[in-house]
């Protein structure tokens, strides 16, 4: 779930944020739909050099009865501690992984690897291969997603959230080659994100991409050809029928 200016938004290729509605309302609905886990990302925080919005996050946490992770503007241990205290299980770090070396290790030492997710935003290079970005896709980092993933694992991160900037919001399927190339380089779980449109896509990322878990945005907030805003989620029966658990 992407938050910008306290509202829920959905981007396309990390730009053109489309306002969807109230965050807390969305959390309540996802609660009712018994989603496994919610990941909230404040996409403006790092660019605007801002702290997490703790009062909004406290309100959100009080409505959620499933595991939650938060990312966006986390740059020191105190912020992470506060997030754990208000009820978030895991924190997601992207920009600070590059700009604040040592932060991941500090948080891991305090709360354990399982509480830290490093988010890698990958963008295709013009010719071949990928590079990475920070600050909401605005700043380029001269490392491949594979290199960053290896560094993240070394730093003690518990999971990698791998975003394909090119597939984001397009619902054109996951970038399976990207996912596979990162998953084979690390032993920690890789969560695939970017491009999911239906259960078949989820299964493909798990089976062919070797992702440990799959995340989706547009698939759960848009419905139909005209992309009407409607929060929708496959239920357990549909997931079983789609073969998700056979992977």
Partner 1 sequence: MVAVINYGLGNVSSILNMLKKIGAKDVVLVQDPSEIKFADKLILPGVGAFDTGMKLLKQSGLVDAINIHTLENKKPILGICLGMQMLGCSSEEGKESGLGYLDFVSKKFDLKNSMLKVPHMGWDYVSVEKEKDPIVSEGMSSMKFYFVHSYHAVCKNAEDVLMYCNYGYPFAAAVSRGSIYGVQFHPEKSHKYGMQLLSNFVKV
Question: Under the criterion CB under 8 A, does residue 111 sit at the interface with partner 1?
Answer: yes
- Residue 74 CA to residue 83 CA, distance in Å, equals 10
- Residue 196 CA to residue 172 CA, distance in Å, equals 7
CA distances from 139 to 1, 75, 194 (A): 22, 17, 19
- Residue 90 CA to residue 17 CA, distance in Å, equals 25
- Residue 143 CA to residue 132 CA, distance in Å, equals 6
In DSSP terms, which residues pair with 18 in a beta bridge? 10
Four-residue CA torsion sign, 234, 57, 192, 134? positive
Question: Under the criterion CB under 8 A, does residue 105 sit at the interface with partner 1?
Answer: no
Q: Which of 15, 22, 25, 112 binds partner 1 (CB under 8 A)?
A: 112
Count of residues that bind partner 1 according to CB under 8 A:
21
Q: Which of 22, 49, 55, 65 binds partner 1 (CB under 8 A)?
A: 65
- Residue 12 CA to residue 194 CA, distance in Å, equals 10
DSSP 160: E
81 vs 100, which CB is nearer to partner 1? 81
Q: Which of 41, 86, 161, 190 binds partner 1 (CB under 8 A)?
A: 86
- Least separation in angstroms between residue 88's CB and partner 1 is 9
Name the one range near partner 1 by CB under 8 A: 21-29, 56-64, 174-182, 202-210: 56-64
- Residue 6 CA to residue 75 CA, distance in Å, equals 20
39 vs 132, which CB is nearer to partner 1? 39
Question: Under the criterion CB under 8 A, does residue 170 sit at the interface with partner 1?
Answer: no
- Angle at Cα 112 formed by Cα 75 and Cα 154, nearest 5°? 75
- Residue 183 CA to residue 129 CA, distance in Å, equals 16
Residue that has been written with the tokens 């009407």 in this structure = 228
48 vs 59, which CB is nearer to partner 1? 59
Question: Under the criterion CB under 8 A, does residue 157 sit at the interface with partner 1?
Answer: no
Catalytic residues: 121
Question: Under the criterion CB under 8 A, does residue 246 sit at the interface with partner 1?
Answer: no
Question: Under the criterion CB under 8 A, does residue 25 sit at the interface with partner 1?
Answer: no
Q: Which of 7, 21, 67, 243 binds partner 1 (CB under 8 A)?
A: 67
Q: Which of 15, 55, 114, 172 binds partner 1 (CB under 8 A)?
A: 114
Q: Which of 5, 34, 235, 238 binds partner 1 (CB under 8 A)?
A: 34
Contact set with partner 1 (CB under 8 A): 31, 34, 36, 58, 61-63, 65-67, 85-87, 89, 111-112, 114, 158, 187-189
């Amino acid at each position: 779930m992407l938050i910008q200016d306290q509202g829920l938004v959905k981007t396309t290729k990390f730009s053109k944020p489309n306002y969807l509605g109230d965050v807390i309302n969305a959390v309540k609905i996802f609660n009712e739909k018994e989603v496994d886990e919610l990941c909230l990302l404040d996409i403006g925080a790092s660019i605007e050099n801002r702290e997490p919005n703790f009062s909004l996050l406290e309100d959100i946490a009080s409505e959620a009865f499933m595991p939650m992770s938060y990312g966006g503007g986390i740059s020191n241990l105190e912020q992470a501690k506060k997030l754990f205290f208000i009820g978030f299980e895991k924190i997601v770090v992207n920009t600070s992984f590059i700009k604040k070396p040592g932060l991941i290790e500090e948080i891991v030492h305090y709360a354990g690897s399982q509480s830290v997710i490093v988010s890698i935003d990958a963008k295709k290079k013009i010719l071949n291969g990928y590079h990475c970005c920070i600050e909401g896709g605005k700043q380029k980092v001269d490392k491949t997603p594979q290199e960053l993933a290896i560094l993240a694992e070394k730093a003690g991160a518990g999971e990698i959230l791998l975003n394909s900037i090119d597939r984001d919001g397009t619902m054109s399927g996951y970038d399976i080659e990207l996912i596979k190339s990162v998953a084979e380089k690390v032993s920690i779980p890789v969560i695939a994100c970017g491009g999911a449109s239906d259960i078949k896509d989820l299964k493909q990322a798990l089976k062919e991409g070797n992702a440990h878990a799959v995340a989706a945005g547009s698939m759960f907030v848009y419905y139909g050809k005209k992309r009407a805003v409607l929060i929708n989620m496959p239920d357990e029966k549909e997931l079983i029928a789609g073969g998700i658990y056979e992977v």
